């Protein structure tokens, strides 16, 4: 069922990989889906489980993913509609969620500044979500930062903008865990 995979994460508790994607239903209607596969799977095989259906709020396409191992949560970027202005969403699901399951939390709305989003990363140490966006379609290049437990139509905690041309089209993003100073001892 892989159509246009938008990333991949490993979920160690179940030894699965999770892949955001889209499916095509009746009358060529697109829908967002997260496909789960056993990590050791090879060949052309069906997913072991999926997240899909209207209660998931995955809209027409799921295209970005991150994993919070401390809380065992899958964090998914999705696009709600194909009509401009596009509506984007960040949804958090329990790591073992399956089927037509509602997210634990969902960030969407005008206050969020989510527009033309590209990628998501999770900083486990600071418990922050980082979303890269913009650089095209008239949307400024920037990184939006949300608290892990943000929910609803909430403004980002921070907005990181480029200094000059330090980044112009932020397609990807990652966070680096610093365990050297994690305990605060210097």
Tens digit of pLDDT at every position of the chain (186 positions): 888 888 999 999 999 999 999 999 888 899 999 999 999 988 888 999 999 999 999 999 999 999 999 999 999 999 998 877 789 999 999 999 999 999 999 999 999 999 888 899 999 989 999 999 887 777 888 899 999 999 999 999 999 887 766 666 666 666 655 555 555 555
Closest CA to 51 of 82, 18, 17: 18
Closest CA to 144 of 89, 80, 69: 89
Element (H, E) at 49: strand 49-52
Q: Identify whether the C-beta of residue 119 lies closer than 8 Å to the C-beta of residue 171.
A: yes
pLDDT of res. 81? 84
Beta carbons within 8 Å of 16's beta carbon, 6+ residues apart: 10, 36, 37, 38, 39, 48
- d(C-alpha 14, C-alpha 8), whole Å: 15
Closest CA to 15 of 43, 45, 36, 44: 36
Beta carbons within 8 Å of 130's beta carbon, 6+ residues apart: 120, 121, 122, 123, 143, 144, 145, 173, 175
CA contacts within 13 A on the Cβ side of 24 = 5
Q: Does the CA dihedral 173-114-31-50 come out positive or negative? A: positive
Structure tokens at 160: 């990181």
What is the pTM assigned to this prediction?
0.88
């Amino acid at each position: 069922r892989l159509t246009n995979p938008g990333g991949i994460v490993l979920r160690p508790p179940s030894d699965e990989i999770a892949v955001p994607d889209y499916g095509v239903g009746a009358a060529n209607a697109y829908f967002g889906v997260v496909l789960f596969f056993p990590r050791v799977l090879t060949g052309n095989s069906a997913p072991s489980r999926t997240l899909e259906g209207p209660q998931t709020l995955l809209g027409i396409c799921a295209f970005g993913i991150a994993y919070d191992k401390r809380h065992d949560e899958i964090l998914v970027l999705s696009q709600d509609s194909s009509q401009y202005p596009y509506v984007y969403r960040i949804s958090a699901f329990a790591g073992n969620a399956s089927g037509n399951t509602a997210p634990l939390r969902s960030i969407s709305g005008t206050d969020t500044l989510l527009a033309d989003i590209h990628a998501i990363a999770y900083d486990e140490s600071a418990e922050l979500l980082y979303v890269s966006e913009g650089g095209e379609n008239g949307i400024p290049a920037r990184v939006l930062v949300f608290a892990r437990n943000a929910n609803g139509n909430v403004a980002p905690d921070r907005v990181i903008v480029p200094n000059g041309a330090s980044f112009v089209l932020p397609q990807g993003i990652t966070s680096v865990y610093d365990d050297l100073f994690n305990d605060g001892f210097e």
